[in-house]
Homo-oligomer: A and B are copies of this chain.
Amino acid sequence: MGTSRGTKPATIGVVAARAGASVASVSRVLNGDERVSPEMRARVEAACRETDYTPNAAARSLRGRTTRQISLVVEDIGNPAYVEAMRSLQDLAREHGMRLLVESTYGQLEEELKVMHDLGERYVDGVVLASTRFADRLTRELRNPAVPVVVIGSAPRDVQVDSVGADARGGAREAATHLREQGCARIAMVNGPVDTLPATSRLEGFRDGLGPDADPPVVHAEAFTHAAGYAATTRLLDSGAAPEGILCANDQLAIGTLNACVDRGLRVPDDVALVGMDNSRDAGICRPRLTSVDLRFADRGRLAGQMLLDRIQGRYDGAPRRQSVYTELVVRGSSDRGGAAA
C-alpha cells in the first residue's frame, strides 16, 4: 500500500490559515523580521510546529536566487588530500548553513566541462575546483562562469580566477635538498602524469634542488594513485637506475613506491630514502612513516571556501585574488638516515 509519504508537506499558506494570519506575517516570522508583534510571532510559531512546517528549498531558491549550496569538483575523491579539503570545506559550509555537493571527474575533461557548463543551471551558488589538467577548453569555460569559482591548486597564469595555491615548486626543491643532505647519491623522481600542472611545477622544484648539472632519472606515473606509483617505480628500478633517494609527486605515488621497494627487498630508508608530497593521511599509516611536503589541503579547502563566500555574499567583487600558502617538509622515517625520527 505504500508509505505515508502521501501526506504532502504544509506550505506557508497552510500555516498562515492555521495561525489566523497572512502569509506575509508568517514569512516575516520565519525570516526573523523584527516588525511582528510578540503574540503574532507566538501564534505563527505554534502553527509551524502543529503543521510540521518546513520551508521549501526550491521556492526559496527561485525567489531569492540563491541555493545555499556550493560544490566541490575534484579529480578523484579517492585521494586523501581531496578528502581533507572536502572535510574542511564541508565544515565551513555547515557553519554558514550551506550544503556541499561533491563531483568527482576522474580527470575526464569531458566530465569537467560538463560540470562547469551545468553551473549555468545555478543549482549552486559557487564552486571550488581542484583540477590538475586545465585544458584550453576548460580555461575558456572559466572565463565567464555563471557563478563564482575558486581554484585549489595552480591555476594557469592566463586564467583570471581566484585561487589558493601552494608553493609546490619550493616544496619539491626543499625535498630534493633534503634527500641530498641525507647523503643519497643518486636521486630519482616518480612524477605524476605529464599533462598535469602539478607534474610540471614539482619537476621544476626537483631540478632546482638538485642543481643544473644533474640529470636525474624521472618516470611519469599514469595517475596519482598507489597502483600507478607502484608500476612507475617498477619501471624505474627495472631500468637499472638504483636510486638511493626518490621524490614522489604525491603521497599516493609514494605509497606505491614504498611497496614496490619493499616487495623488491629494498630497505627504506637505508637502501633508498623516500619523500612524498601532500602530507595526507596516507603519510602516517605506512611503516616507515612517510616524509612528506605538507601542501596543506585542509587549510586550502577552508581558505578557498572563504574566498568563495566573499564573492557569494558580495563582500568582494574585484579582480581575481591569488592566495598561496607556505609549504613545509615534514621529516619522518622514510627518509631519515640519521636515525632520529620514527
B-facing residues in A114-168 (Cβ within 8 Å): 117-118, 120-123, 144-148
B-facing residues in A247-299 (Cβ within 8 Å): 255, 258-259, 262-263, 281-282, 284-287
A101 near B104: Cβ-Cβ < 8 Å: no
Binds B, one of A13-21, A56-64, A178-186: A56-64
From residue A225, how far is it (CB to closest CB) to chain B in Å? 10
Give the interface size class of chain A.
Answer: 35 or more
A102 near B104: Cβ-Cβ < 8 Å: no
Minimal Cβ-Cβ distance residue in B for A318: B2
Residues of B within 8 A of A39 (CB): none
Task: Encode A1-44 as 1/0 by CB contact (under 8 A) with B.
Answer: 11111000100000000000000000000000000000000000
Counting every copy of the chain, the complex holds: 2
Binds B, one of A83-91, A204-212, A234-242: A83-91
Minimal Cβ-Cβ distance residue in B for A255: B285
B282 near A57: Cβ-Cβ < 8 Å: no
Residues of B within 8 A of A197 (CB): none
A146 near B286: Cβ-Cβ < 8 Å: no
Which of B58, B102, B284 is close to A101, meaning CB atoms less than 8 Å apart? B102
B103 near A101: Cβ-Cβ < 8 Å: no
B56 near A122: Cβ-Cβ < 8 Å: yes
Bound complex: CA A90 to CA B259 (Å): 30
